[in-house]
Amino acid sequence: MKAASLTLLLALTWTSAGAATLTVNPGESIQAAINRAAPGDTVRVLPGTYRETVFIDKNDIRLQGVVHEGRWAVMDGESRLNDGILASGHGVIIERMWVRHYKGNGIMTQGANNYQIIDNVVEGPCFYAIFPQFGRNGLVARNFVTKSDDAAIYVGMSDGVDVLYNVASHSIIGIETENSRGQLIEGNYVHDNVLGIATTMLPGLPVKTAETTIIRRNFVVANNIENFAPPGAITAAAPSGIGILVLGTDTTVVEDNYIRDNRSAGVLVADTSFFVTTPDVRMDPYPDELRLLRNTYLGNGADPQGSVKAILESAGQSTGVDVLATGKGRGNCIAEREAVRSLGIRRFEDCAPGTTSAATLSMRPSQPVAAPEYTPEQVGRLTYLAVCSGCHTYNARLVGPPMLAIKALYAGRPAALADWIATPTRRRPEYPEMPPQAYLPEQVRLAVANYILGELEN
């Protein structure tokens, strides 16, 4: 079938119960279709190349790329645009899109519940390929993600998320859950990253706990590339060659994984302070109640790197191990202790025979969770977090100027700031020009402008 006839067919397709399907042809704007769509609608994107940022703030939108005879709907940021797809609407489904070369996020959900990010290809260089944040009940499945300057799949401050059957490679971290509760990371193939899979608790964030993660039946192989994180980034401290990292998180299960040829260690269990020294006394830095069950370890620790090498040498060892525990967590256990080359597990008990996570098939709730309508204040904060915070800090230069200067410039003029955000012009020769954020609806730009000029403080 040729593309033209496919277009005609799709344009005439309507789903039941009044939900419509809108079709986007090459040369047209995906955002324009999103703007026309109503909750429950599907936006189908035909094969072709689209150079834009898409923002979805409506509920129950399905953004679906059409793959036809091997040709995909490609969104190309040309290493010029910051973000590919940003979604804050609940119940969004993003599927079969090929998203490449966005500088910030490939696909991000922010404050969205009941989302699905499935069957996409996300290629860097980017910061995060797939980044759901502040969401409940999420599914991230069967995506191919590569070349992220941080985590390729990064579940941040979320609850009830399944990360299943993805392939993650050539990034600092293949898959990471951060300050989140209730994750199932299963069946993924994670290879050729600096660090394969990480469940972490980091300081300085509003969520102060991280717990209940199952890391199961993954293939965690040869995560040995050199660390290319910029100096000063938290991830710059990650030694190359870690298969699975449990950093300060509680009630983690590591079971039935195939962990092979990670040159520093198969599994590293560490206190938060092993990587991050910023004090955040509200957090318990120790990884507690870890269940390190039966896994297959092969060839790990052959050539330890960085801090792992140093810590092994301090113990008189020159080669790495399958399991390295530097932390002082309580209530941890390990199965088949004698089969595992380990260091630092004196405080671990033996797991009770038969201990398994097999009964847990999903961490997602059985029913969709509530889909709250956000207030303008919440929209402003969430949008700031998703769109602005990557380049601006309050009182210091980052990529862009400090917000303090912007507050002074636009004091009492939120509408003017909202307009400028849509179509920025270069005002300071010492800073790069800000990419236009016209994809944000006017009320969203106004909400974030009000937040910046009002509530945002140091």
Two tokens, residue 197: 């899979």
Binding residue (CB under 8 A) for another protein from 13, 15, 79, 389: 389
Site string for another protein, 201-230 (x = CB under 8 A): -xxxxx-x---------------------x
Two tokens, residue 93: 């489904």
108 forms beta bridges with 86, 131
Check residue 401 for interaction with another protein (CB under 8 A). no
Nearer to another protein, 357 or 393 (CB): 393
Q: How far is the CB of 147 from another protein (least distance, A)?
A: 21
What is the 3-class SS of 355-400, one letter each residue? CCCCCCCCCCCCCCCCCCCCCHHHHHHHHHHHHHCCCCCCCCCCCC
Check residue 273 for interaction with another protein (CB under 8 A). yes
In degrees rounded to 5, what are phi and psi of residue 173? Answer: -125, 135
Check residue 339 for interaction with another protein (CB under 8 A). no
Question: What whole-number distance in Å separates Cα of residue 375 and Cα of residue 447?
Answer: 9
Binding residue (CB under 8 A) for another protein from 37, 382, 434, 453: 382
Question: What whole-number distance in Å separates Cα of residue 33 and Cα of residue 50?
Answer: 13
Two tokens, residue 172: 């600092």
Check residue 426 for interaction with another protein (CB under 8 A). no
- Give the residue from 204, 351, 346 showing the smallest Cα distance to 276: 204
Question: What whole-number distance in Å separates Cα of residue 196 and Cα of residue 262?
Answer: 9
| Contact range with another protein by CB under 8 A, out of 6-14, 45-53, 192-200, 272-280 | 272-280
- Considering only residues 225-264, where is the footprint of another protein by CB under 8 A? 230-234
- Considering only residues 51-90, where is the footprint of another protein by CB under 8 A? none
| Contact range with another protein by CB under 8 A, out of 89-97, 117-125, 172-180, 327-335 | 327-335
Give the β-pairing of 54-56 and 62-65: unpaired
- Give the residue from 117, 120, 98, 97 showing the smallest Cα distance to 109: 117
Check residue 432 for interaction with another protein (CB under 8 A). no
Check residue 122 for interaction with another protein (CB under 8 A). no
- Give the residue from 289, 301, 291 showing the smallest Cα distance to 336: 291
Binding site for another protein (CB under 8 A): 111, 134, 202-206, 208, 230-234, 273, 276-286, 306-307, 309-311, 313-315, 325-328, 330, 343-344, 346, 377-378, 381-382, 384-385, 389, 393-398, 451, 455-458
